Amino acid sequence: MSGSGRRPLRVLLVEDSEDDALLLLRELRRAGYEPEHEVVYTAGAMERALERGRWDIVLSDHSMPAFSSFAALELLRRRGLFEELPFILVSGKIGEEAAAAVMKAGAHDYVMKDNLARLGVAIERELQEAEVRRERRRAERRYRLMFEQSPLSIQIFSPDGRMVSANRAWRRLWGVEPEQLAGYNVLEDPQLLESGVMPYIRQGFAGRAAVVPPVRYEPDRTVPGLSSVPYRWVRAFIYPVVGEEGEVQEVVLIHEDITETRRAWDALQEAERKYRSIFENAVEGIFQSTPEGRLLTANPAMARMLGYGSPEELLASVGSIARLYADPERRDEFRRQVEARGSVSGFELRLRRRDGGTIWASLAGRAVRDPEGRLLGYEGTLEDITGRKRAEEALRQSEELYRSVVEQAQENILLVDLETRRILQSNPAFRRTLGYAEEELRGMTLYDIVAHDRQSIDRNIERIRRLRRHSPGERRYRRRDGSLAHMEVSVSVISYDGRDAMCVVAHDVTERKRAEEELRESEERYRAVVEQTAEGLFLHDPETRRIVATNRAFRRMFGYTEEELRGMSIYELVEDSPENVERNIRRTLENPEYCYVGERRYRRKDGSILEVEGSGGVIYYAGRRVICSMVRDITERKRSERAMREIREAERRRISRELHDGVLQDLTYALQSMQIERRISGRTSEERERQIDALRRAVEGLREAIYELRSEGVADRPLLRSVESLVELHRQRSPHREARLVVAGGFPAGLSGPAAAEVARVVQEALANVRRHSGAGRVEVRLSVEDEEVVVEIEDDGRGFDPASSGGGVGLVGMRERAQALGGRLEVESRPGEGACVRLRAPLPALSGSPAAPRR
C-alpha cells in the first residue's frame, strides 16, 4: 500500500488526448489506486514502454490518428503478453458493433468514457482473472515437471495407439528418443500380441485402467537405436484419460523396470536348483571353524556364494573366516551373542566375495562345545539375502514414491473407513481444497463434508462395497468456510490395516462449473448483441458455401425471410465472380480471427444491387466451423464518394486550364522575351543568365504540375488503364525519350478501387522522378503477378544513383509509405551510371477490392 492508503497500479495508457488521460488517472485514484503510468499513442511508443517495464494493465482508446485498439491488441499478441496482461477498452464515441469487434479481437472488457464509475470494478475483476490465468500456466508447468522428473517410465498414446510423447525416464530406460520410433503403434506390437499382454493394453484403450503382470520385453532389433538395447523385465500400469463425454482422449502407460529384481530372483532360483542337485536338502552355505575363526569345512553352496569354484579353493584362499567379514565389528558382535545365548539365528551381515564385491547373508550359528563345556569351534549356515535386501530397498523406495506422489498430487485424495464412514487419511491437496487441518479431518465422517443427504451417501457406499470400484460422478463437498466445492469423484476399495477402506480420488471442477455458467451467460449476451446490432450478420459453411444463420438486420437489409436465406448459396447473394468469392473465403480461413474483406456488391431479393463493406472471421457453430461475416450498407456513402470524385476532377481540369492558359503562357512569354533580347543585344551577364535559368526551371516545373493535374483522374479507372494513361502522358511530356509498357499474361484487367489507385500513384511518382532526375533515354513499365502478388517495375537507363547513400528523397519516401499501406514492399536497385529499377510488390487480395490502409 502507498502512504495514502491506495493500492499501487502500473498502468499503460494508450490515449492521444491529454485531458482524457488525466480523467482516467483521476478515476483510478478515486477507485483506490495509486497509478504508476505512461501515456502512449503510437505503436513504437507502446513497444518501447513494454520493453522498459512490467505493467499490471493496459487502458486503451479505440481510435487515434496514428494508432487503434486493434493495433495495440496485435502488438500484445506478438510480444506474447496477450493472455497475461489485461486489456480494457476505454472509449467515448464507439458503437456497439465496434465494441463487439474489439472484444472479439481479444479485449477483456470495455468502459465508456461517459461512464467511468465502473472502471475500478472492471480493473479489479480483470486483475483477478489475469492472476487465475497465470496460476493455470504455473500448474501446467508443475505437471510437465512431474512428468519429466518422474523416476518411472511414462508413455502417452493417442486413442488409435500412436505414441504421442514419453518422459525422460522412458528415454533413459530404452536409450532412444520418441522420434526414432516414428510410426510405432502399441496396438500392433507383435511382441505384446505374443506375450499375452495385449488384452490388458486393449482394456486401457477401452477406457478401463489395467495392471499388466511382469513380462520380458525384447526390443525390436530392426528399429534404429534399439539394436543394442538388452531385454527388459517390466511391470506396467495402464490408465486411460477419459473426457467429459466418456471418450478416451489419451492412454498413459507407466513402466516399472524390474529387470534387476527379476534377474536376482532368477539367479536365486537357479542357485537353489544347483544346491539341491549337490546336497539333497541343503540350499544354504554350511561351514565350520575353529574358536580362532579358521575355516575347517565349507560346502559347495558357500563356495559358490562367495564366488569360489569349489570348497577347497575357498578354504585355501580364505583360511580364516575373519577375512570374509565386510564389517569386522559384526564378527565380534556374533561371538558375543553366541557366548551369551549359545546360538544365533537371523544374524545379518555382509560378506566379501572373491571378486571384491559384497553380499548380504543371514547367519544361523552356534558354538560347538565338548562335554566339559570347552569351546571347540563354531558351525552355522549362511543364507544369501542380497535379493531380499534389494527387494526391501525397492519396496522402501516404492513406498516413498507412493507417499511422495500422494502428498504432492494435485488431485484430492482421502481414505475413509467403509464401516464407520470416518476419515482415516487425506492428502495436502484435499486439505487445501476444503480448508481443514489434518487433525480436524481425522475426527470427521464422510457425512460432515459431503453436501448430499445421508441416504444418497449410504446408497453409493453400498454400491462401492458391491462393485469394489465406482465413479459416482460429480459431488459437492462442504468447505470449512461453508462454501461448496464441486468434485468429480472416483472410488475404489482397498485394504488398510486389515480392514476395508474407500480410497476416494476427487478432481476439483469448481472453476470449470463457474466457467460453464459464465459461458452460458456470455452466449446469451452474444445472441442479444447479434439480434440487436444494426450491422448485417450471417454465418455460412465454408465447405458447402451455404448460409446457416442470419440476424434481423441482415434479413431487413436484403428483403429475405429467415427460412428463405437458410440453405441459400453465398453465390446467390454476392454480385462478383466465383473466383473472387473463393479467394475471400480462403483469406478468411487463413486469418481465422479477423479478416477485412473490403467493399462488395450484394443482390437484394428484388434484384437491386446493394454496396456493402464486409469483414469476416471463423467461429464454431453447432459443432462445426463456419465463417461469420458482417456487412455494412455503404450505398449512400459510395454515391457521395462518386459525386465528390466528379467534383474534384472538374476542379482539377479547371485549375489545369487556368494555369496553362494564364500563368504558363505569361511565364513562357517572359522567358522568350528575355532570350530574344539577349540574342538582339548580344550582351549578357551572370545575373541575367541566372534569371533566365530560374525562369526556365519555373516554366518546366509549372508544366510538370499541369501534366500531373491532368493525370490525377487516371487513378479512378482500373489499374491497367491508369498505368497506360500515365505511360502515354510520359511520352507526351518527354517526346525525346522512349517509353514502353509491358503487361504479362494473366494480369487481371479489372483491378480497381482505392488500393489499385495507390499503385497508380507509385507509377506516377516513379515516372516523374525519371523525367526530373535520371536523364534516361528509355524507360520501361512492367506489370505481372507472381505468387499472389502484383509486381510493378519501372526501369530506366539513366545515370543511376547509390540507394544506400542517397538518403531517399520525398518522392521515394512517399512511394515506400504507399507500399507499406498496401501491406507490400518497395525495392530499389541502382548503381551510378547503370540506370535504376523501382519494384513494387503488393498482395493481390489487397488490390481486389479492399481499401488501402490510411497512410501515417
pLDDT for 423: 87
pLDDT for 701: 63
Block residue for cell numbers 513497444: 47
Summarised one tens digit per residue, pLDDT across range 84-96 is 789 888 887 777 7
**Is 225's pLDDT higher than 50?**
yes
pLDDT for 658: 63
CA 532 to chain centre: 35
CA distance 64 to 71: 11
CA distance 294 to 694: 127
**Is 768's pLDDT higher than 90?**
no
Q: Three-class SS of residue 649?
A: helix
Express as a percent the part of the chain with pLDDT over 70.
Answer: 88
CA distance 506 to 451: 14
What is the mean predicted confidence (pLDDT) over 257-265?
81
CATH architecture type of domain 717-856: 2-Layer Sandwich (3.30)
pLDDT category at 853 given cuts 50, 70, 90 is very low
pLDDT for 851: 40
**Is 723's pLDDT higher than 90?**
no
Q: Which fold has domain 263-391?
A: Beta-Lactamase (3.30.450)
pLDDT for 106: 81
Domain 7-146 matches domain 263-391 at the CATH topology level: no
Q: What is the mean pLDDT of the chain?
A: 81
Summarised one tens digit per residue, pLDDT across range 564-591 is 888 888 888 888 778 878 888 887 888 7
| Beta strand spans in 61-193 (E) | 63-64, 67-68, 87-91, 109-112, 153-157, 163-166
Query: Which of 271-280, 371-380, 621-630 has maximum average pLDDT?
Result: 371-380
Q: Three-class SS of residue 15?
A: coil
Summarised one tens digit per residue, pLDDT across range 521-535 is 777 777 766 777 778
CA distance 502 to 197: 29
C-alpha cell at 855: 497512410
CA distance 204 to 364: 48
pLDDT category at 223 given cuts 50, 70, 90 is low
Exposed (0-12), middle (13-18) or buried (19+): which is 89, by Cβ within 10 Å?
buried
- Name the residue type at position 535: E
pTM, entire model = 0.32
Q: Which fold has domain 7-146?
A: Rossmann fold (3.40.50)
Nearest to 558 by CA among 522, 509, 489, 610: 610
Q: How far is CA 729 from CA 607, 655, 711, in A?
A: 41, 18, 8
**Is 280's pLDDT higher than 50?**
no
Q: For 229, list phi and psi in degrees, rounded to 5.
A: -85, 125
- DSSP result, 69-93: HHHHHHHHHHTT-TTTS-EEEEESS
Could you tell me the residue ranges of all domains in the chain?
Answer: 7-146, 150-257, 263-391, 410-513, 534-633, 717-856
What is the mean predicted confidence (pLDDT) over 320-327?
84
Question: CA torsion sign, 340 to 346 to 352 to 357?
Answer: negative
Express as a percent the part of the chain with pLDDT over 90.
Answer: 4
Start-to-end CA distance of the chain, whole Å, equals: 42
Question: What is the chain's Cα-based Rg?
Answer: 44
Contact (Cβ atoms closer than 8 angstroms) between residue 66 and residue 36 = no
CATH class given for the domain over 410-513? alpha beta
pLDDT for 780: 93
**Is 130's pLDDT higher than 90?**
no
C-alpha cell at 769: 522522378
**Would you say domain 534-633 falls under CATH 3.40.190.10?**
no
Summarised one tens digit per residue, pLDDT across range 148-178 is 778 888 888 888 888 888 888 877 877 777 7
CATH number of this structure's domain 150-257, picked from the four choices 3.30.450.20, 3.40.50.620, 3.30.420.40, 3.40.50.2300:
3.30.450.20
C-alpha cell at 59: 487502458
pLDDT for 621: 79
**Is 468's pLDDT higher than 90?**
no
What is the mean predicted confidence (pLDDT) over 137-149?
76
Nearest to 664 by CA among 697, 702, 632, 607: 702
**Is 712's pLDDT higher than 60?**
no
**Is 181's pLDDT higher than 60?**
yes
pLDDT for 792: 93
Residue 839 burial (CB count, 10 A): 17
- DSSP result, 320-364: BGGGGBSSHHHHHHHHHHHHHHSEEEEEEEEEE-TTS-EEEEEEE
Summarised one tens digit per residue, pLDDT across range 814-846 is 788 888 878 889 999 988 888 999 999 998 877
**Is 761's pLDDT higher than 70?**
yes
pLDDT category at 795 given cuts 50, 70, 90 is very high
pLDDT category at 855 given cuts 50, 70, 90 is very low
**Is 539's pLDDT higher than 50?**
yes
Q: For 190, list phi and psi in degrees, rounded to 5.
A: -65, -35
pLDDT for 2: 47
Q: How far is CA 846 from CA 49, 163, 755, 824, in A?
A: 32, 43, 7, 9
pLDDT for 282: 66
